[in-house]
């Protein structure tokens, strides 16, 4: 999954990435101490990489998700 971002300029701060960062991978879960927390709930594709790769994927996912919640302007003229 990192092949597309590996060729783009990026700061060389290497961290352990989620690897599958998108808005659907966030949610509530319980800790061992029975505390409810909100965070990333999918780590099955984790890998080392530059920190901004996950941020870019999350941003793209949020923009894509929001595009389904916004009505196109050209469509509004048919309602009024």
Query: In a structure prediction context, what are the per-residue pLDDT tens digits for the chain, which is 80 residues long?
Result: 567 777 778 888 888 888 778 888 888 888 899 999 988 877 777 888 888 888 888 888 888 877 776 666 665 565 54
Helices assigned H by DSSP within the chain = 51-67, 73-76
What's the pLDDT at 80?
A: 46
Residue 45 · residue 20 · CB < 8 Å: yes
Residue 29, both tokens: 């879960």
What's the pLDDT at 33?
A: 93
What's the pLDDT at 25?
A: 82
Rounded to two decimals, the pTM is 0.64
Q: How far is CA 58 from CA 30, 52, 62, 78, in A?
A: 23, 10, 6, 34
What's the pLDDT at 78?
A: 56
Residue 68, both tokens: 């389904």
Residue 7 · residue 50 · CB < 8 Å: no
């Amino acid at each position: 999954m990192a092949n597309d971002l590996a060729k783009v300029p990026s700061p060389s701060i290497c961290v352990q990435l989620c690897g599958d960062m998108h808005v659907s991978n966030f949610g509530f879960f319980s800790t061992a101490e029975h505390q409810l927390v909100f965070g990333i709930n999918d780590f099955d594709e984790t890998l080392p990489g530059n920190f901004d790769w996950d941020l870019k994927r999350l941003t793209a996912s949020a923009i894509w998700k929001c595009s389904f919640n916004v009505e196109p302007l050209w469509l509004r003229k048919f309602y009024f």
